[in-house]
Amino acid sequence: MTAPSPSPQQNLQTLSEEYQKLQTDLQTQITSRQRLESQQQENLAVRKEFNTLSTESTIYKLIGPVLLKQEKAEAESAVDGRLEFIEKEIKRVEKLISNMQEQSEGKKMEIYQLQMKTQEAK
Q: What is the DSSP string of 36-79?
A: HHHHHHHHHHHHHHHHHS-TT--EEEEETTEEEEE-HHHHHHHH
pLDDT at residue 9, rounded to an integer: 82
Angle (CA) 76-77-80 rounded to 5° is 85
Other C-beta atoms closer than 10 Å to the C-beta of 106 total 12
Reported as a single tens digit per residue, the pLDDT across 9-61 is 888 899 999 999 999 999 999 999 999 999 999 999 999 999 999 888 889 99
| pLDDT for the residue 63 | 92
User: b/e string for 58-89 if b means 16 or more Cβ within 10 A?
Assistant: ebeeeeeeeeeeeeeeebbeebeebbeebeeb
Q: What is the mean pLDDT of residues 89-104?
A: 97
